[in-house]
Amino acid sequence: MKPYTIEEHENGLLIFTITRESKRNSINYEVMDGLVEAIELAKLPHVKILIITGEGEKAFCSGGDLSVFHELKTEEQAYTMLSRMSKILYELLMLPKPTVALMNGMALGGGCELATACDFRIARKDIKVGFVQGKLAITTGWGGGTILLEKLPSSTALEILMESSIYTAEELQNLGFIHYIYEGDPLYAMLTFIKNKQMIEGSVLRAYKEIAVRKWNQSNIRERIETEVRKCSILWESEAHHKQVDLFINRK
Ligand SMILES: CC[C@@H](C(=O)O)C(=O)SCCNC(=O)CCNC(=O)[C@H](O)C(C)(C)COP(=O)(O)OP(=O)(O)OC[C@H]1O[C@@H](n2cnc3c(N)ncnc32)[C@H](O)[C@@H]1OP(=O)(O)O
């Protein structure tokens, strides 16, 4: 069974769900394939808004699947994986349609990068969110740091990245990362959040998104993401990183 679902709802909604609840919706290579599939489907004219979420209540996404990716030891091995996912997040960022991260549970590491690549983030009130890569002795490596610096004031983004702390949804709303906080049913919350946007013509939504895309292109975002991937690959090879991942893998 695939570790994701892609559902088309009425009124042009496409919902991508990572269905690895028992692994806290961490991202492995198959989930990457699923994201590619969803982004391609979202390009179809009848799709108006792409929603990305996770199964269950515990996690939106706990980042890269450390049980798979801890096998990547060298800079080049890490680069291949990081580069692949960075291209996916770049495509998600550039998708000429509104995208929403429906953060139904915690988001850590790469899970935050996935959310950052979406245009809007809505989060359940009691979740925890952290760009914890620093604690694993790496930086963001999927382009999420570069994208965060586009979306928040640079001093705020740098603080979030450098501290590698875990935040509450409310703290991140105050910092401008989260747009809307909900309690209760995630689907209802998402429909409430997108209601006004959904009433706008798709061509208008697309035209606005293209303005944002042009801005990002003018700032050479693709090249800057590539630099992030390269730098993270170098750090990935370090003993400090492998030690931290081993601690997580062997924690029980
Ligand atoms: C690789 C790219 C890099 C990037 O560029 O950003 C990253 O994403 S690095 C990864 C960053 N993520 C993390 O460090 C999160 C690691 N996970 C945790 O800290 C905790 O698991 C949790 C997410 C806080 C959840 O805690 P809890 O609810 O107590 O559950 P468990 O810890 O028992 O986990 C349940 C189950 O899920 C597996 N799991 C969780 N996260 C991952 C992960 N990122 N990769 C692989 N597997 C993960 C965990 O191992 C448990 O599995 P079992 O032991 O088989 O039950």
- Inter-CA distances, 249 with 66, 118, 252, Å: 7, 29, 8
Cα 157 to averaged position of ligand 1 atoms, centre (Å): 23
Q: Please state which architecture CATH assigns to domain 4-184.
A: Alpha-Beta Complex (3.90)
What whole-number percentage of the chain has pLDDT above 70?
100
Residue 252's pLDDT band (cuts 50, 70, 90): confident
Residue 11 near ligand 1, beta carbon < 6 Å = no
Domain residue limits, the chain: 4-184
* Cβ(9)–Cβ(36) below 8 Å: no
The pLDDT assigned to 204 comes to 97
Atom of ligand 1 nearest to the CA of 106: 23
Q: Which atom of ligand 1 is nearest to the CA of 59?
A: 23
Work out the mean pLDDT of the chain and round it to a whole number: 97
Global pTM?
0.98
**How far is ligand 1, taken at its centre, from the CA of residue 62, in Å?**
5
Neighbours of 224 (CB within 10 A): 17
Please, which pLDDT band fits residue 236 given cuts at 50, 70 and 90? very high
Q: What is the ipTM of this complex?
A: 0.98
Q: What is the mean pLDDT of residues 172-177?
A: 98
